[in-house]
Structure 1
């Protein structure tokens, strides 16, 4: 499991730590470049120098957080992969991921899909974890997982979101 630890005394590291805190507390649109720079005790020019834009900083932080999330979810899938029910691995991964996001105060950051509109690593991971890999199923599961995080970010109790994810059934319907 990778852990990226920024050198917090560097301007870049302070910007990353400030971004994690600010984007963890409020939606992207509500956080300003000036607030990020002020929280990191740097100029706005430093933010543009290191990340190009607020979106560049957000994407960097989001990607790092998502990588840590996926590492944990992959581990949970591997550990549960020997269970008799193949859907248990995906359910386990979603619950481990939810617990990580809540514990680290990442629900708001991870509730949205990746900002670059390309591939969705979470959907791909969940798709490959199902008994018969299905790209659409991965997207549906990722959307449900993100909806649970969005509900938590809006004040829902994490236990309720966890219970909702735990009851998702991944069994394929019988088409006779």
Structure 2
């Protein structure tokens, strides 16, 4: 069994599930480890035992959430052969899923762990070498649209703003 997959019903699984909700809604700075632990009936020591520190817990959560989003984006993009249509489908599906699972703050914020931007990497694969650096700009637009939702903008309005950039030729 992989070590990073928690056994159902364990303290580690409870911490991960609550952390996805808390980081998704409040972002890295907005999560208090003591309150997170208390909300699942655990101690902060349990969090540190399983994850080392808040940043490692965040990194685990962020990677998990982004893998879930990217999996859906890849499926949506596979329907189209044209790179821009593929990109547009991926962005819409990823956006909608992030809104649905309420992780807009997490997905929109700068990653304090400074790990690779998985969304930009996906976009680079989809676009190939068409325009160097476009993937970073597109990922930033996608994340900014989610940030708009996190800051109170209606999701459909934020999505329209995102698609406005893509639909321009």
Give the structure-2-normalised TM-score.
Answer: 0.89
1:13 corresponds in structure 2 to 13
* CA RMSD, Structure 1 to Structure 2 (Å): 2.1
Which consecutive unaligned segments of at least 5 residues does structure 1 have?
none
Moved over 3 A (4+): 4-8, 131-135, 169-172
In the alignment, the residues of structure 1 paired with residue 94 and residue 25 of structure 2 have an alpha-carbon distance, to the nearest angstrom, of: 19
1:158 corresponds in structure 2 to 155
Which consecutive unaligned segments of at least 5 residues does structure 2 have?
none
1:136 corresponds in structure 2 to 133
In the alignment, the residues of structure 2 paired with residue 103 and residue 5 of structure 1 have an alpha-carbon distance, to the nearest angstrom, of: 23
1:121 corresponds in structure 2 to 118
In the alignment, the residues of structure 1 paired with residue 6 and residue 25 of structure 2 have an alpha-carbon distance, to the nearest angstrom, of: 20
User: Structure with the greater relative contact order (CA < 8 A, sep ≥ 6): 1 or 2?
Assistant: 2
- Cα distance per residue 1:5-29 (max 9 Å; x no partner): 8545211001111111211221321
Aligned positions of 1:49-60 closer than 5 A: 49-60=49-60
- How many residue pairs match? The answer is 166
Give the structure-1-normalised TM-score.
Answer: 0.86
Distance 1:118 1:133, change over 3 A: farther
**CA drift at 1:56:** 1.0
